[in-house]
Amino acid sequence: MVRGIHQYPPMERVIYGIPLQEALEAEIKRLDSQAVYVMASGTLARSTDAIDQVRSVLGNRLAGLCSSIGAHTPRIDVVAAANEARAAKADLVLTVGGGSVTDAAKMVGLCLGNDVTDPAQLDAFRAIITPDGRTERPPTKPPGVRSIDVPTTLSAGEFTWFAGCTDTIRHVKESYGHALMMPQAVILDPAITLHTPEWLFLSTGIRAVDHAVEDLCSINPTPFSDGASLQALRLLAKGLPAVKADPTDLEARLDCQLGAWMSIMGSQNGVSKGASHGIGHVLGGTADVPHGYTSCIMLPHVLRFNEPVNAARQAWVSDALGHPGMPAADAVAALIARLGLPATLREVGVRPVQMDVIARGSMHDRWIHTNPRKIEGPATVRMLLDAAW
């Protein structure tokens, strides 16, 4: 008999298919926010009218604008933004952008709630992965401010309560978390994603596929996440190729956004991921590979490695992607190829000299230790990296 506890996350609402200005005006009124600190992707702020739309809604409630968060959320950028938000007496953070900005807003909340004013102080709050794979999170006070997120990519980090933040001195991406770091609300407006570069939108869509696949194939799946993950794969398998064929197809873009939302349900209830996520975190923090690309490259190889221990669940993946009877690794690889995305590490600039460093670093990521097929050590990770070279 299946047993478990389903926990609803501390997010108040998800608004989808409603234009940004209309949805944002309603949310600002609902929350009665008076000082909104806006965090936006740099290119979006400089080259589109997205922030003009935000300004038209906020008026004199705009308390500041940050458009300088680097890729993989460098902690020096995060603390600088937190210090600005503190000085502005912000009562809400609004993000418009991708995963790096989303994580940055969570980290700004952590900094404000825990009196962090210098990057080195974040050492006290980062998660520690023990040698046996347990995640130990130090005591952390609630965030000093929460957020509304308007995502422009499909990584779905806006639906979780933890954040990745990179120490650029040690070249390590670390995990931070508190339940209330999750946004209060998320606005899914497909029109805002028209500004997102094609490679970024599609590759983060594969990141969402990775979420759903590794949840379905997890060592501790739940009935809720199984259902959501299957629907996520159906939506993404339909929506991503449609966006590739016609970038102006807003219905397809919304399918992708809804699929990304569905893909993350397991993360909200403690469903463990596997080696594609574990290695991907290190590829991002150590080799500066965008997370969408890490999933494109690693997921098929991890599926092949795991197939001896979870073939039945991998069959669900193939069915949901529209390829019943095909090995899941091949079904995922076919979708990636159809979207014209990279499939090897060398295509994304990983150097041979980095491979052992990545293999060793991956052993410190929690998801390596919950991979369905046991990973004994760096040599096994190196084998997967070699397969992806």
The pLDDT of residue 135: 81
Contacts of 251 (CB under 8 A, 6+ apart): 190
Structural domain boundaries in the chain: 13-190, 198-388
For 198-388, the fitting CATH number among 3.30.70.2340, 1.20.1090.10, 3.40.50.720, 3.40.50.10300 is 1.20.1090.10
Amino acid, single-letter form, for residue 130:
T
Beta-strand pair 62-66/147-151? unpaired
The pLDDT of residue 22: 97
Q: Could you give the CA distance from residue 162 to residue 98 in angstroms, rounded to a whole number? A: 15
Helix axes 75-87, 99-113, angle to 10 degrees: 60
Q: Is it true that domain 13-190 has CATH number 3.40.50.300?
A: no
The pLDDT of residue 45: 85
Helix axes 328-338, 223-245, angle to 10 degrees: 30
The pLDDT of residue 171: 82
Give this prediction's pTM. Answer: 0.94
Give me the tens of pLDDT residue by residue for the chain, a chain 389 residues long.
888 899 899 999 999 999 999 999 999 999 999 999 999 998 888 888 999 999 999 999 999 999 999 988 999 999 999 999 999 999 999 999 999 999 999 999 999 999 999 999 999 999 987 777 678 899 999 999 999 999 999 999 999 999 999 998 888 888 999 999 999 999 999 999 999 999 999 999 999 999 999 999 999 999 999 999 999 999 999 999 999 999 999 999 999 999 999 999 999 999 999 999 999 999 987 888 998 999 999 999 999 999 999 999 999 999 999 999 999 999 999 999 999 999 999 999 999 999 999 999 999 888 999 999 999 999 999 999 999 99
The pLDDT of residue 274: 98
Domains 13-190 and 198-388 share a fold: no
Dump the DSSP string for 51-92: HHHHHHHHGGGEEEEE--PPTT-BHHHHHHHHHHHHHTT-SE
Helix axes 250-263, 223-245, angle to 10 degrees: 150
Contacts of 228 (CB under 8 A, 6+ apart): 212, 262, 263, 265, 266
